[in-house]
Amino acid sequence: MLAAEYGDKLLKQSEAEWLPVVRAKAIAMMMDMIKGDLAALNIKHDVFFSERSLNEKGKDQVGATIEWLRAKGDVYEGRLPPPKGAPVEDYEDREQTLFRATAFGDDVDRPLKKSDGSYTYFASDIAYHKTKFDRGFLTMVDVWGADHGGYIKRVQAAIKAVTSDKATLDVKIVQLVKLLRNGEPVKMSKRSGDFVTLREVVDEVGSDAVRFMMLFRKNDAVLDFDLAKVIEQSKDNAVFYVQYGHARGHSIFKNARTAVTALPAETAKRVEFLADAKIERLSDSVELSLIRQIALFPRIVEAAAVAHEPHRIAFYLYDLARVGTCRIYASLSRMMQKSPSRVWPWFRVSSRFWLLASPYSASMLQTRCDRRDFAVYAG
């Protein structure tokens, strides 16, 4: 691409001249790849935020944020004691610009400038989160790698300072994904350039399988992602099991229309049609067990939203599919053969369930990251 656009022009330039051009082109190409991968997973971000934008085009938002905090008394010039347990030779006793993090719950005050006068990464983090608050965000969620766990308290302290304790930060620590094939690790090496990209995984097993398996665990748990297992048609594959349960549920209504010919095929009309069904006829323990499980759905969704833990919905759908597939389908099949009218009340309850709890509903597989930033810290 560079050769097609610039020919041999860049070869004749000094590093100071060609490096900014190549860097900008490389970042743009990588961002296009990231956006393509997200689109393949049906994930949408409204804002892509670059750290570099904080100090571009004559702006110095990092410096402005530091001075704003200084005016509030939260930034000062001072010295830090040697860090506990660190080699003495790594410690530099000098006066530096410090954020008064201990006033907001952190263990030590934090440097905002390096010895060469440039800003620390932490200073940029403060400025970025301040822009979030200035744009109206009071609840912020950051997703970090497992090696950044020690960074949480200082950023939470900074957000308390820049928002006057009006905003909160929930940091989700994400563990690594172990890629397997038939139980054997897929060998990868960054040094040799031998690795499997997310897009390759999506192309091989499908976006629904990737999305569901990424959610079928807590964010801080290591995920063993077996490329062969997620397309296996067995109860050991959570993706298939939920899809199978969903298909079984719809097949109940399909079969029911042979006994109750007036039963609408469309879900919304079916709910209205069954509104007057006598639910007091539901007395079987298997029926009641499923109804109790169905009744949990609104609370599960609410709890998942409040706690920022979408895995709760994935767990729920799997458990529900296990109950419905293993017990309900067989029970209803027998019931429809013996007494079709007795199934009507169950249809009334389950119609509402399949309307709400489909694994392909917006709550599960059609996620949109409305008004959330995808912050890209590319130097």
Residue 219 near residue 172 (C-beta atoms within 8 A)? yes
pLDDT at 363 over 70: no
Q: What is the C-alpha to C-alpha distance for residues 143 and 219, in angstroms, rounded to an integer?
A: 9
CB 244 within 8 A of CB 317: no
User: What Å distances lie between residue 370 and 14, 178, 264, 350, 367, CA to CA?
Assistant: 43, 29, 35, 31, 9
Residue 378 in this model has a pLDDT that exceeds 50: no
In terms of domains, do 146 and 245 share one? no
Long-range contact set of residues 360-363: C-beta below 8 Å, sequence gap at least 24: 360/208, 360/246, 363/301, 363/313
Does 337 lie in the same domain as 243? yes
> Residue 115: what residue type?
S
Residue 83 predicted with pLDDT over 70 = yes
Kindly state whether residue 25 falls inside one of the protein's structural domains: yes
Chain segment 217-246, per-residue pLDDT in tens: 999 999 899 999 888 888 788 888 888 888
Single-letter amino acid, residue 253? F
- Assess whether 168 and 181 both reside in one domain: no
Rounded mean pLDDT, 83-88 = 68
Is the pLDDT confidence value at 354 over 90? no
C-alpha–C-alpha distance, residues 352 and 260, integer Å: 18
In a shared domain, residues 271 and 340:
yes
Q: In this structure, is residue 66 part of a structural domain?
A: yes
Q: Is 224 found in the same domain as 334?
A: no
Average pLDDT over residues 71-96: 83
- In this prediction, residue 327 carries a pLDDT of 62
- If you average pLDDT over residues 359-368, what whole number do you get? 38
As a whole number of angstroms, the distance between CA 121 and CA 209 comes to 36
How confident is the model at residue 329, as a pLDDT? 57
Domain that holds residue 200: 177-231
- Would you say residue 158 lies in a domain? yes
More confidently predicted of 368 and 44: 44
Calculate the average pLDDT of the chain: 82
The pLDDT value given to residue 33: 92
* DSSP states along 254-266: HHHHHHSTT--SS
CATH assignment at residue 64? 3.40.50.620
Could you tell me if 348 and 259 lie in one domain?
A: yes
What are residue 223's DSSP bridge partners?
177
CA distances from 200 to 14, 176, 206, 207 (A): 37, 17, 10, 11
More confident residue, 189 or 132: 132
Same domain, 242 and 311: yes
Claim to verify: residue 190 and residue 159 sit in the same structural domain: no
Q: Is residue 275 part of a domain?
A: yes
In a domain, 256, yes or no: yes
Q: Of 124, 129, 139, 122, whose CA–CA distance to 159 is shortest?
A: 129
Among 195, 212, 231, identify where a domain stops. 231
pLDDT in tens, 143-163: 999 999 999 999 999 999 999
Shared-domain flag, residues 155 and 245? no
Q: Which two tokens stand for residue 319?
A: 């458990």
**How many other CB atoms are found less than 10 A from the CB of residue 111?**
18
Which are the contacts of 33, defined by CB distance < 8 A and separation ≥ 6? 199
C-alpha distances in Å from residue 5, one per residue of 33, 188, 227, 378: 20, 33, 39, 23
Domain termination residue (choose one: 172, 195, 219): 172
pLDDT (mean) for 340-348: 54
Q: Over pLDDT 70: what percentage of the chain? A: 83
Indicate if the pLDDT at residue 87 is higher than 50.
Answer: yes
Q: Which amino acid is at 299?
A: R
Domain count, the chain: 4
pLDDT tens profile 91-121: 678 899 999 999 999 999 999 999 899 999 9
Residue 373 lies in a domain: no
pLDDT at 179 over 70: yes
Supply 169's token pair.
């930060």
Domain-embedded: residue 13 = yes
Residue 302 vs residues 49, 170, 299, 305, 312: alpha-carbon distances, Å: 29, 17, 5, 5, 10
